[in-house]
Amino acid sequence: MTVTFENIEAAALELPEGDRIHLAHVLAQSVAHDTPEMEEALLDEVERRIELQGAGKISDIDADELYRELRRR
């Protein structure tokens, strides 16, 4: 069987929630190269988005929709 994103995704979604959280953390750590500057920039962006959402300038997006959009890029 060929390993594809779809195969891995389907298998991962069958894992218990705790295992999915752990897997997400491991995957995030494999691509994140945090520096203090990057962490500060991320926190600034989070604060900016919270302010925009509070002002009604942006709305929530469903996580599944977000991931589909990111995969298309």
What pLDDT, on a 0 to 100 scale, did the predictor assign at position 5? Answer: 92
Structure-model confidence comparison of residues 68 and 5, the more confident one: 5
Q: Buried b vs exposed e over 5-21: b needs ≥16 C-beta within 10 Å?
A: eeeeeeeeeeeeeeeee
Map out the domains of the chain as residue ranges: 1-32, 34-73
The number of CA neighbours under 13 Å toward the Cβ of 67 is 6
**Token pair for 15:** 């894992």
How far apart CA 49 and CA 44 sit, in angstroms, is: 9
pTM to 2 decimal places: 0.44
- How far apart, in whole angstroms, are the C-alpha atoms of residue 56 and residue 69? 22
Taking only the tens place, the pLDDT of each residue in 9-35 is 999 999 988 888 888 888 877 776 677
